[in-house]
Amino acid sequence: MITQTSISYYGLNYVEHAEADFKEMKAHGVTQVILAVTEFDFDFWRPNIPAIVDKAHELGLRVLIDPWGNGKYFGGEQVSKFLQDNVENRQVSALTGEKLPYACFNTNSYRDYFKNFCVTLARECKPDGFFWDEPHYAFPKGIASITGGVADDWTCYCPVCRKRFEEYYGYPMPKYMTNDVKLFRWREALVVLSETSKALKEIDPNLEITCCVHATQNGYYVSEYRGYDNWDMVGACPYFDVFSTTIVNWALPEDFYLDITRRTVAIAKKYGKKSERWLMGYYKQPKDFSQVAHWVDLAAKEGVDRLAAWTYRGGYGTVVGAPDALKLWDTIGENYRRVIAKV
Ligand SMILES: [Zn+2]
């Protein structure tokens, strides 16, 4: 049964404007707002963030803080102050040695920065939890292409990762993605999120952590190798409460959506977590809007606990707005109201 219906929300500045938006979310059947807090928000709008969280609570919405695009390590379109302020501690291409515009989350520099960002917000804002939004290594993604072609390049080959690899395995880090490299990447990728989640639960044991990973096939032939594609390793992390997988484009086959949904529920159940599936509420819309109700029903039937959609008002007014953004938002709202009424 669907017990939470979430919508992401960014551009938060003024409490009274957020209040009007929160009321609109309530009218759309939303129970939980995923508050996308950027590094600029944290640096500049800090005084208003706790007041915005309070306002959401006052209106009966749960609030999860999403460190949206932080370090460009998480998904998201906004820019990163960490990258602006640090020329080092970036992910490095294994093949070309180039520094890339992605923070290396295996460096102590970024790990400290990220943990401070989250624990500060936890102390100041008293949210209901945090949302880890598509964390990933820069490369590869091509491995998940429809042809199953192999991506040649990968990250991270920065001095910190190389030193840690060599200390652990006793030989220099290869430039080819071997099994040792794959395991190293999976293990290290979980450290920053585990340590921060643990620190958050030490502040407040009731803080709920959702880890949302890319919705990939991860089959025998095709996998993304973005660091969180080993769903068993992610699901087994004791500090995560909700196992979530990202948006599937409406144009993809229903079988693909079903496969992702079933595997998401299976991993969540296996490790005693709640499951969450995302709906595409921006950028693209279904050819036939009745697909929204159909996919919502499929998720409910497969035992998904929570639904979420990116983003408020279908991305209206942004470059990633759906063609009929407000209609998409209203359609998601109708379905949220429909499923949440059964709780
Ligand atoms: Zn690195």
> Quick one: pLDDT at residue 147?
52
Q: What is the DSSP letter of 142?
A: G
d(CA 322, CA 281): 8
CA of 178 to the centre of ligand 1 (A): 16
Cα-to-chain-centroid distance, residue 160: 25
At residue 145, the pLDDT reads: 52
Query: In this structure, which residues have their CB less than 5 angstroms from ion ligand 1?
Result: 104, 106, 156, 158, 161
Cβ–Cβ under 8 Å, residues 9 and 53: no
CA–centroid distance, 148 to ligand 1, in Å, is 26
Distance separating alpha carbons of residues 43 and 47, to the nearest angstrom: 10
- Whether the full predicted model's pTM is greater than 0.85, yes or no, is yes
pLDDT of residue 139: 80
Q: What is the DSSP string of 298-310?
A: HHHHTT--EEEEE
Beta-strand relationship, 99-103 and 90-92? antiparallel
- State the distance from the centre of ligand 1 to the C-alpha of 67, rounded, in angstroms: 20
Distance 189 CA to ligand 1 centre (A): 10
CA of 106 to the centre of ligand 1 (A): 6
pLDDT of residue 31: 98
Low-confidence stretches of the chain (pLDDT < 70) are 141-151
Compute the distance between CA of residue 71 and CA of residue 67 in angstroms, rounded to an integer: 9
In this structure, the number of other CB atoms found within 10 A of the CB of residue 47 comes to 8
How far apart are the CA of 65 and the centre of ligand 1, in A? 26
Of 162, 139, 146, the C-alpha closest to 229 is 139
Task: Output the DSSP codes for 268-336.
Answer: HHHTT-EEEEEEE-SS---SSTHHHHHHHHHHHHTT--EEEEE-GGGGTTSTT--TTHHHHHHHHHHHH
What is the helix (H) or strand (E) element at residue 256, kind and residue range?
helix 254-270
152 CA → ligand 1 middle, Å: 18
- CA 31–ligand 1 middle distance (angstroms): 38
Alpha-carbon span 253 to 146, nearest angstrom:
13
CA of 36 to the centre of ligand 1 (A): 25
The pLDDT of residue 142 is 60
CA of 87 to the centre of ligand 1 (A): 13
- pLDDT for residue 160: 98
Task: Kindly give the distance from the C-alpha atom of residue 71 to the centroid of ligand 1, in angstroms, as a whole number.
Answer: 13
**Within 13 Å and on the Cβ side, how many CA atoms surround 123?**
8
